[in-house]
A and B are shown apart, each in its own frame.
Chain A
Amino acid sequence: MTNSYNPLLLLLIGVPLVGAIGMMFAKNLPVRTTKLIALLFSLVPLALAVLLWVNFKAHDYQPTPAVNPTPTATPVDSVVPLFSQVFSVDWIPAFGIRFSLGVDGISLVMIALIALLVPIVIGASWEEKLPAGRSVAGYLGLLLALESAMIGVFAATDVFLFYVMFEVMLIPMYFLIGAYGGARRTYAATKFFLYSLLGGLMMLASLIGLYVASADIRPEGGTLDWATLRSIADQIPVGTQIWIFFGFFIAFAIKAPLVPLHTWLPDAGAEAPVGAGTLLVGVLDKVGTFGFLRICLPLLPAASTKLAWLVLLLASIGIIYGAIVAAGQTNLKRFVTYTSIAHFGFIAMGCFVFTTQAVSGAVLYMVNHGLATGLLFLLVGMLAARGGSVNVKDYGGVWKVAPILTGLFLVASMATIAVPGTNSFISEFLVLLGSFRTQPVWAIIATCGIVLAAVYMLWIFQQVFTGPIRGRAVVATDPGDDHLAPAPSLGEVRTDPHGIPAVGPQPASTVTVTSTSVTTGVDPAARTVSLSTDVITEADPAARAEPVAAPGRRLRFGDLSKREIAVLSPLVVLIIFLGVYPKPVLDVINPTADRTVIDSGHTVGTGLDVTADRAQQEGK
């Protein structure tokens, strides 16, 4: 095997890693400088990802065949190279293990998503209040380390390297939850770690199985190189494939997570600091569904086909069950994680129905879910930081208090329930349409999930944002009577003896309630808007509806700051843009999706052989 030295992917993994190591020495720097350095180290990978995308398109882009092309005997992989931007050197020659990196359409879009989300997350965590005794440098360093590992997972083209990165990814996330999380962080982190460890061990067993199985077939011995394994995948006996499949599947189903292996996610998501939680739900979990597409389908095609029913069953349960449980949540962060569990059901279903539309849809879903749920999770974090509570019951009528936050939340909600015009519509539509071709019954069950999605999303929206202004997180009855922890974004200056990030004095922001506008100052008491009767004008509908006015009641927070709007706007723009014009991303995904379907031994939807499609459909 020849060595390749394309440095781009190595840099993508290396730069954040260097940043993470740098953070270890940044403890004595001023907090602001630390943050800027971290942001810089996360922006470089973003630029590199753009470069990666451009190079990929320039060298490897093959348009998918148009509708009903002439049937061709040419296998797709001879047209499209398996991986682009390859970096590959010997690593453990004794076992034929190499350090190989490369991207195909699927991993490219995921790496781009990571590179985009990390700077946004750092920007959104700019004034994150960390637990006592924790340094901001440590927090940002762990975020960068996580980025490095996540890119590594998606870029690995050697199954052993994939496994190593898969496990390495655990470590920063464990510390992010366990050291920087909420009240039950230790419990959540342990649970997260144990689940992941269990999955990792299963995967290790299967990995060894795969190596042994390849040694049985190849005269030159075992290998864990993806491309080689792919070329012999069809020769591995079905029985062996099924055993190997189970190990990988359990690892990925824990990570994705599929019901009933999901209960670690609500705890981890709810206890993780907002930035880490966003990356957990937005990217890290997708390693599971990515594994389905990278390992299960192409390397274990017979087992995947044979056990598809099991995945479809769990996926359907996840879609319906996750949605119902989401509707019953009273904790906003747990709510978001349960919506994700329902969404992972859609993605998993898309992977295991073996049509190009569904697989492309599933990959696009992974990206879109990262954008939409990322936005949702960050907004929940911003709301919680203001109100000092994640309890739905503590909020009400926030629309009047923070219209911009509400507007963005509405965009995120619409994307979550896949309303056309948002990115998620395209992916959900593709998954369902593609599933219906081969698995109509499962597809119909999944389609019913879109009603449940509307129920849980609009129900939460109604409770938190509509109605009269109310709830103890929103209104404080008198200045000294704060039931909850003081809301940090109200600009209180914290000076902590341990050199903890001070939530710096904020730029004066304006809190507006209709005609009344009060500029906030430094004194927390002055940063509130009086809601006493005399300021409410006749024209104020809120007053007409249900006068909340009681002398001394005041709002505990205001709308998003300019920084927060700036941080979130790329997500909003992408959500709308990819809803209207998904072609740039679909064009990248499609060839790989086609190849994945063909690798798994199917042709439906690939447009390669239409008559075979029909025969296969009718045969089922």
Chain B
Amino acid sequence: MTGYPPATGISELAWLLLVLPLAGAVVLLVGGKVLNKAGPLLGCATVIASFVLGLLIFLDRLNLPADERTSHVQLFDWISVGDLRVDLGLVLDPLSMTFVLLITGVGSLIHIYSIGYMSHDPDRRRFFAYLNLFVGAMLLLVLGDGFVTLYAGWEGVGLASYLLIGFWSYKRSAATAAKKAFIMNRVGDVGLAIGIFIIFKEVGTTSYAGVFASVGEWATRSPGSLTAAALLLLLGACGKSGQVPLQAWLPDAMEGPTPVSALIHAATMVTAGVYLICRAAPIYNASTSGQLLVCIVGAVTILVGCIGGCANDDIKKVLAYSTVSQIGYMFLAAGLGAGVYGLAIVHLLTHGFFKAALFLGAGSVMHAMNDDVDMRRMGGLARYMPITFGVMFCGYLAIIGFPFLSGFYSKDPIIEAAFNAGGAKGWILGLAALIGAGITAFYMTRLMLMTFFGESRWKKLRSVAEPAGREYHPHEAPLVMTLPMIVLAIGALGAGAFLAIGDRLVEFLGSSSLGEFDEEAVAGHLPMPAIVITILTLVLVAAGILIAWVFVGSKPVPVTAPERVNPLIRLARNDVGGNAVNEALFARPGITATKAAVFTDDRGIDGGVTGAAAGLAGLARAGRFWQNGFVRSYALSMLGGALLLFLALLAVNAA
């Protein structure tokens, strides 16, 4: 029962978008060893086919007038019980189709890259199956026509993420990181689930069309429950997107193969939280406190992510913290509310390009460095792998917001919009975003300097990753890996300009449930001219670069991290306290509770039962005393019984 008109033409085939990668996953998993050779190609083919179809549907949408771009594909009646009806249907609108192109586009490139990256792995068939499963689930997440289908995709990508982080499950650290990611995500999922229950209880449906049509009535009838729903959805979004307080799993998730980090833990899955908040825009628009909390989460996460990125020596963990912080920008934009949602999506797309380029570059570096990730052991690699360096340099310029590259076009308006929020709120959010930009420049410059410039520290070292002790022979990656990297680098350079100039994307998104893009909401009430904010940002970025140069570039980098450091660096090294909090609040009490519960069960409850049984046995032994064969004792017991009966009868009669 969606209110959207049914899709026609090529759009009717939208179900194939999902089915192709999922079918690929099933075939690869069930197919057995026969498919070991062809597996990677099959995996790529299904995702590329999905991309082509997605592109066709997207173009089809573009040709329609703006108010007809939303349509619906009904697959089947999924869960119908009583007055609950959940359809498995797809909603095709500018928002979902933008995500489809991102997921299948970046997904295709990373699938291709993985052919090279995983070529030595005996289990690569399984790897491609999981990647396909991920793409299918992610497409269900963004295409589903209601909150329940979203939830199904939501947990589906969580499963794929679990399988892929733990892909090298023989490594204990990978298995642990996978479990941690799944469980922390589940905490968020509880929020999402209860949010959905509230929605259903209040408006009697879970489809977007139905819910959004009733939001007005709901907001006036029961504003409290609406805010509760908004906050619970936010909890879900925080879990999936690695936002404070559920951020600690994302850096650990880097245990997975690098293409996974690029696709799932940078470009697509972790942005699902942003998708959820944008998709549920009508609900957030009706809840001021919900929006404010989204902003606060975003602003805090920007800074936490930045700090975490500053002191880590693991190249992938730096990028992971960077992802945490960049998604903070998206949350901030999404929380600023009506008229600004579009900016979150623009940054999401440009981030998809430059972060994927950076991660694939990092993968290429690891490939060259015998799978080592410690930047202190690297240095001077630019000469040995020029293409990788070029790609990462493009990504680097884009993420720090170098003028006229992607990040500049997508991050700058978010900083402006934050200032635009007005009053103290505007200043606090704006400053957080501004400082974040400066710190981003610092840690990214540090990463580039430690990896590609300076002394080639690896020449005197032997590798530490298993099998340890090999010499390093850095080399450029094969074409199958560099080609996708180059494509992403081009995106990192130009996507921002393409999407942002003339408000191309935000106007396009305006015809979905996000609502019209509103220039006024972005820059209508700035406390200072927009150009001043831009210049301030650039000054801070330059300062960040300079400081990085002074601390890292201008002097030799010690191979082992210095022990004696100031408390701030120690905090940054210790994951900004995230793990300590988890450990203190959940892990240790959890283990204690488990031990206590097992003890209670064995000794308390079961002990009670066996104790009662023993008592009964004792009673039986006592009872044997009466069965002694002496007539006199039987007579005594008969007398006692008769007396008892007599008394009982008296009592009954008296009553």
Q: Are A324 and B79 in contact (CB under 8 A)?
A: no
Q: Are A433 and B186 in contact (CB under 8 A)?
A: no
The distance in angstroms between the C-alpha atoms of A443 and B195, with both chains bound, is 12
Question: In this assembly, does B460 line the interface, its C-beta being within 8 Å of a C-beta of chain A?
Answer: no
Complex interface: chain B residues within 8 A of A433 (CB): 84, 196-197, 200
Q: Are B169 and A594 in contact (CB under 8 A)?
A: no
Question: In this assembly, does A92 line the interface, its C-beta being within 8 Å of a C-beta of chain B?
Answer: no
Q: Are B155 and A67 in contact (CB under 8 A)?
A: no
Q: Looking at B189, B597, B613, which has the most chain A CB atoms within 10 Å of its CB?
A: B597
Q: Which of B122, B182, B594 contacts A458, CB < 8 Å? A: B182
Interface hits, B174-204 → A, CB 8 Å:
174-176, 178-179, 182-183, 186-187, 189-190, 193-194, 196-198, 200-201, 204
**Nearest CB on B from A543, distance (A):** 8
The distance in angstroms between the C-alpha atoms of A407 and B25, with both chains bound, is 14
Q: Are B175 and A421 in contact (CB under 8 A)?
A: no
Question: In this assembly, does A499 line the interface, its C-beta being within 8 Å of a C-beta of chain B?
Answer: no
Complex interface: chain B residues within 8 A of A64 (CB): 80-82
Chain A residue at minimal CB-CB distance from B467 = A544
The distance in angstroms between the C-alpha atoms of A194 and B169, with both chains bound, is 45
Q: Are B29 and A546 in contact (CB under 8 A)?
A: no
Question: In this assembly, does B280 line the interface, its C-beta being within 8 Å of a C-beta of chain A?
Answer: no
Q: Are B605 and A263 in contact (CB under 8 A)?
A: yes
Proximity string of chain A (434-455) to chain B, C-beta cutoff 8 Å, 1 when within and 0 when not: 1011001001100110110011
**Nearest CB on B from A342, distance (A):** 12
Binds B, one of A208-216, A283-291, A521-529, A582-590: A582-590
Interface hits, A127-158 → B, CB 8 Å:
none
Proximity string of chain A (323-367) to chain B, C-beta cutoff 8 Å, 1 when within and 0 when not: 011011100000000000000000000000001110011000000
Q: Which of A259, A397, A419, A607 contacts B83, CB < 8 Å? A: A607
Q: Are B190 and A448 in contact (CB under 8 A)?
A: yes
Question: In this assembly, does B121 line the interface, its C-beta being within 8 Å of a C-beta of chain A?
Answer: yes
Q: Are B82 and A360 in contact (CB under 8 A)?
A: yes
**Nearest CB on B from A468, distance (A):** 6
Chain B residue at minimal CB-CB distance from A421 = B156
Q: Are B77 and A583 in contact (CB under 8 A)?
A: yes
Question: In this assembly, does B76 line the interface, its C-beta being within 8 Å of a C-beta of chain A?
Answer: yes
Question: In this assembly, does B485 line the interface, its C-beta being within 8 Å of a C-beta of chain A?
Answer: no
Question: In this assembly, does B85 line the interface, its C-beta being within 8 Å of a C-beta of chain A?
Answer: yes
Complex interface: chain A residues within 8 A of B178 (CB): 458
Complex interface: chain A residues within 8 A of B605 (CB): 259-260, 262-263
Complex interface: chain A residues within 8 A of B198 (CB): 436
Name the interface size band of chain B: 35 or more
Binds B, one of A48-56, A423-431, A483-491: A423-431
Q: Are A468 and B170 in contact (CB under 8 A)?
A: yes
**Nearest CB on B from A327, distance (A):** 5
Question: In this assembly, does A514 line the interface, its C-beta being within 8 Å of a C-beta of chain B?
Answer: yes
Proximity string of chain B (585-601) to chain A, C-beta cutoff 8 Å, 1 when within and 0 when not: 00000100111011001
Proximity string of chain A (456-486) to chain B, C-beta cutoff 8 Å, 1 when within and 0 when not: 0011001001111100000000000000000
Q: Are B182 and A542 in contact (CB under 8 A)?
A: no
Question: In this assembly, does A615 line the interface, its C-beta being within 8 Å of a C-beta of chain B?
Answer: no
The distance in angstroms between the C-alpha atoms of A615 and B593, with both chains bound, is 41
Q: Are B170 and A361 in contact (CB under 8 A)?
A: no
Q: Are A545 and B77 in contact (CB under 8 A)?
A: no
Q: Are B201 and A436 in contact (CB under 8 A)?
A: yes
The distance in angstroms between the C-alpha atoms of A524 and B379, with both chains bound, is 54
Question: In this assembly, does B583 line the interface, its C-beta being within 8 Å of a C-beta of chain A?
Answer: no
**Nearest CB on B from A331, distance (A):** 11
Complex interface: chain B residues within 8 A of A432 (CB): 193, 197
Q: Which of B84, B122, B162, B467 contacts A514, CB < 8 Å? A: B122
Proximity string of chain B (43-56) to chain A, C-beta cutoff 8 Å, 1 when within and 0 when not: 00000000000000
Q: Are B186 and A539 in contact (CB under 8 A)?
A: no
Instruction: Tell whether A583 pairs with B80 under 8 Å between CB atoms, given A540-B122, A545-B171.
Output: yes
Q: Which of A430, A450, A544 contacts B186, CB < 8 Å? A: A450
Question: In this assembly, does A606 line the interface, its C-beta being within 8 Å of a C-beta of chain B?
Answer: yes
Question: In this assembly, does B120 line the interface, its C-beta being within 8 Å of a C-beta of chain A?
Answer: yes
Q: Are B175 and A462 in contact (CB under 8 A)?
A: yes
Q: Are A466 and B166 in contact (CB under 8 A)?
A: yes
Question: In this assembly, does B563 line the interface, its C-beta being within 8 Å of a C-beta of chain A?
Answer: no
Interface hits, B50-106 → A, CB 8 Å:
76-85
Chain A residue at minimal CB-CB distance from B595 = A328
The distance in angstroms between the C-alpha atoms of A613 and B204, with both chains bound, is 11
Question: In this assembly, does A556 line the interface, its C-beta being within 8 Å of a C-beta of chain B?
Answer: no
Question: In this assembly, does B480 line the interface, its C-beta being within 8 Å of a C-beta of chain A?
Answer: no
Q: Which of B156, B168, B606 contacts A545, CB < 8 Å? A: B168
Instruction: Tell whether A426 pairs with B79 under 8 Å between CB atoms, given A420-B155, A455-B183, A466-B170.
Output: yes
Question: In this assembly, does A400 line the interface, its C-beta being within 8 Å of a C-beta of chain B?
Answer: yes
**Nearest CB on A from B577, distance (A):** 22
The distance in angstroms between the C-alpha atoms of A545 and B169, with both chains bound, is 10
The distance in angstroms between the C-alpha atoms of A466 and B182, with both chains bound, is 15
Q: Are A67 and B83 in contact (CB under 8 A)?
A: yes
The distance in angstroms between the C-alpha atoms of A437 and B590, with both chains bound, is 30
Q: Are B80 and A462 in contact (CB under 8 A)?
A: no
Q: Which of A321, A397, A447, A459 contacts B170, CB < 8 Å? A: A397
The distance in angstroms between the C-alpha atoms of A583 and B85, with both chains bound, is 11
Instruction: Tell whether A328 pairs with B122 under 8 Å between CB atoms, given A400-B170, A583-B77.
Output: no
Chain B residue at minimal CB-CB distance from A597 = B82
Q: Are A451 and B187 in contact (CB under 8 A)?
A: yes
**Nearest CB on A from B467, distance (A):** 5
Q: Are B76 and A581 in contact (CB under 8 A)?
A: yes
Q: Are A467 and B597 in contact (CB under 8 A)?
A: no
Question: In this assembly, does B38 line the interface, its C-beta being within 8 Å of a C-beta of chain A?
Answer: no
Q: Which of B168, B186, B613 contacts A451, CB < 8 Å? A: B186
Question: In this assembly, does A41 line the interface, its C-beta being within 8 Å of a C-beta of chain B?
Answer: no
Complex interface: chain A residues within 8 A of B79 (CB): 426, 429-430, 582, 586
Question: In this assembly, does B1 line the interface, its C-beta being within 8 Å of a C-beta of chain A?
Answer: yes
Question: In this assembly, does B4 line the interface, its C-beta being within 8 Å of a C-beta of chain A?
Answer: no
Q: Looking at B76, B78, B193, B613, which has the most chain A CB atoms within 10 Å of its CB?
A: B193
Complex interface: chain B residues within 8 A of A468 (CB): 170, 172
**Nearest CB on A from B365, distance (A):** 19
Complex interface: chain A residues within 8 A of B194 (CB): 436, 443-444, 447
Q: Are A66 and B85 in contact (CB under 8 A)?
A: yes
Question: In this assembly, does B387 line the interface, its C-beta being within 8 Å of a C-beta of chain A?
Answer: no
Question: In this assembly, does B159 line the interface, its C-beta being within 8 Å of a C-beta of chain A?
Answer: yes
Complex interface: chain A residues within 8 A of B170 (CB): 397, 399-400, 466-469, 541-542, 545-546
**Nearest CB on B from A229, distance (A):** 25
Q: Which of A541, A546, A586, A610 contacts B121, CB < 8 Å? A: A541
Complex interface: chain A residues within 8 A of B175 (CB): 462, 466-467
Q: Can you list 30 A-B pairs with a CB-CB distance of less than 8 A?
A: A65-B83, A67-B1, A259-B605, A325-B594, A327-B590, A328-B595, A329-B598, A356-B84, A360-B81, A420-B155, A425-B152, A425-B155, A430-B79, A433-B200, A436-B198, A440-B201, A447-B197, A450-B186, A450-B189, A451-B186, A459-B179, A462-B179, A466-B169, A514-B122, A583-B77, A590-B80, A594-B82, A605-B81, A610-B83, A617-B201
| Additional pairs, 6, CB under 8 Å, beyond known A455-B183, A543-B467, A593-B82 | A64-B81, A324-B593, A324-B594, A355-B82, A458-B162, A593-B81
